[in-house]
Structure 1
């Protein structure tokens, strides 16, 4: 199966979003002081929304995308708790991750519907 060049480039934002997610989730420190309370929840929401949004815009199959990221949310917290000495696992971060995924999927749905409407 070959993928044309323009479609191949649609995967680049997905890759960047996933790399950013891994860097932020698995860095040894939490990044310092928060600018406001629960800022980390906003970060979690964002770093799970972006890969979903870009993956769905790239027309990757939504079931595997959602399944993999939904599994990654609690696994990342368990890994932070067990393996990263200056990090802790937080169940509320998993909730923020899942909310971010829902927001990313909703935004992608809206963007794709708008694209379809503009074609008509």
Structure 2
């Protein structure tokens, strides 16, 4: 078990990625760079995979992390649709977010250090 000081720093990467995700997901449409079609789906996939990996490595409980990421995916898309950002919520984006989170959680589950802790 990590002492509280080390546990705090182990979660720092998750907090940083979460802050980056807020910028990416809630930047108004005028600030979003143009990109080839499908690029946004790749960004969503990688962003949520990175959230899952950094959360898992930061020793967040995997059940809570899973539920939290799914709620974040759905809520962020709903907020994009209703906030005055000139962005639209997209069910496919939320689905890709969930797939990214699942992929990241699978990586965390397979990490040797995580398996040792569960035993």
Q: TM-score, normalised by structure 2?
A: 0.85
Corresponding position of 1:17: 17
CA-CA distance at 1:46 after TM superposition: 1.4
Write the deviation string for residues 15-42 of structure 1: whole angstroms up to 9, x where unpaired.
Answer: 00110111111111261211x2200001
Q: Return 5+ residue gaps in structure 1 as ranges.
A: none
Distance 2:39 2:20 in 1: 17
Corresponding position of 1:61: 61
CA-CA distance at 1:86 after TM superposition: 1.8
SS for the counterpart of 2:41 is: helix
Q: TM-score, normalised by structure 1?
A: 0.84
How many residues are matched? 114
Corresponding position of 1:95: 95
Q: Is the 8 A contact 2:45 2:97 kept in 1?
A: yes
SS for the counterpart of 2:88 is: coil
2:32 matches 1:31: yes
Distance 1:116 1:91 in 2: 34
Q: CA RMSD in A?
A: 2.0
Corresponding position of 2:73: 73
Query: Residues 104, 85 of structure 1: CA spacing in aligned structure 2 closer, same or farther, 3 A cutoff?
Result: same
Distance 1:107 1:84 in 2: 36
Q: Is the 8 A contact 2:108 2:114 kept in 1?
A: no
